[in-house]
Amino acid sequence: MQRCVNVIGVGMSPFSPAALAPDAHVRIGTTIGQALTDAGLSASNIAAVHAVTGAMDGVTLQRALQTAGLAQVPLFHFAPNDADGSALFARACQAILLGQAESILVLGIEGAPAPTLGLERLGAVAQEYMARYLARRETFAMIAVKARQHAALNPLVAFNSLLTLDRVLQAQMIADPLTHPQVAWASSGVAAVLLCSSEFARRHGNGALVQVVAQACVTPQQVNDQGATFAGVDYEVNVAAARELYEQAGRGPQEVDVCELHDLSTVSELLLYEALGFCAEGYGEKLVEDGDNTYGGNLVINPSGGLLTLGQASAASALAQCIELVHQLRGSAGRRQVADAQLALQHQTGDDGTVTTTLFQRG
């Protein structure tokens, strides 16, 4: 029987624009404990820990693992320049598929926010899109309004105050036409995801499983970007990662019920609507204005509030996306619940430009 990867437990701390407190090991240990409790497992059931930490020393990580009873479990600790949260998650999935481990705790810790970079480039891409498709700057601002509406239902995000369209448009200009609420600002936080094989789940699972249906990782080096569309955001890489994912799964974008995507900015999100196949090229504005990116529309995108409200935490953001989709597929997302969600898509762009796309379904 072909091996597959299951998410069996999740845990997540609140995210914040401030650095983790000096007693960060307590928050990390608590988050690990949440994931273990969620899975109905003890520390002795975990075969390995894969962790990536941003701007935090290894001693703090070791103290946290000791607090959680995992001090003796094999640890694969990646520095920020070796992996981010999306790369970590993909590596752990491969380890399960290859039979290298039956259960892995994937841990992302962003301890101190790093500066948000590349804003001028994003503004230039937004202007290029507006010129090409005669789109309005209000459309980008509507995505920020939607993000805050979703985030108002999520107590773990860094920025959850509601915003009107006028307030978004009148906010501090960051990179014309993008204003301050239209950019994902740096944050800190902790996220933990427990992965396991199906055999492990049969022996130890409590029934609350979400299965990884397919996963694709595409690097910029794999894609010919000559004559690229919106080269400033590696549009073709996102298209290739989506196409490979759908081909692997034998599913199409029209079947996706809920999506968490890498909304580095509002223009990034709009372009991803098109790159991921949720609408045709040039029709992102119509999708936004028709409300087909939120509750009551065809697809709910970033029900958590996305990075625009969670903040950009390289080591932990991808795991936070996974956690939101797990809750959606379990039906445990509370007031954010997407009705009868069956198939979920996660999209994340790594620090090196690698795009990782993952499809999840109820186990």
Same topology for domains 5-114+187-211 and 119-183+214-362, yes or no? yes
Domain residue ranges of the chain, discontinuous segments joined by +: 5-114+187-211, 119-183+214-362
Mean pLDDT of the chain, nearest integer: 94
Is 50 exceeded by the pLDDT of residue 227?
Answer: yes
- Global confidence as pTM: 0.96
Query: In angstroms, rounded to a whole number, what is the distance separating the alpha carbons of residues 323 and 7?
Result: 9
Q: What is the pLDDT of residues 33-58, one digit of tens each?
A: 999 999 999 999 999 999 999 877 78
Mean pLDDT over 138-142 rounds to 98
Q: Which residues in 181-216 are b (16+ Cβ under 10 Å) and which e? A: bbbbbbbbbbbbbbbbbbebbeebbeebbbbbbbbb
- For the domain bounded by 5-114+187-211, which CATH number is listed? 3.40.47.10
Select the more confidently predicted residue: 23 or 93.
Answer: 93
Q: What is the pLDDT of residues 187-199, one digit of tens each?
A: 999 999 999 999 9
**Tell me, what's the pLDDT at 1?**
47
Homologous superfamily assigned to 119-183+214-362: Thiolase/Chalcone synthase (3.40.47.10)
Query: In angstroms, rounded to a whole number, what is the distance separating the alpha carbons of residues 39 and 209?
Result: 9
User: CB–CB of 360/211 below 8 Å?
Assistant: yes
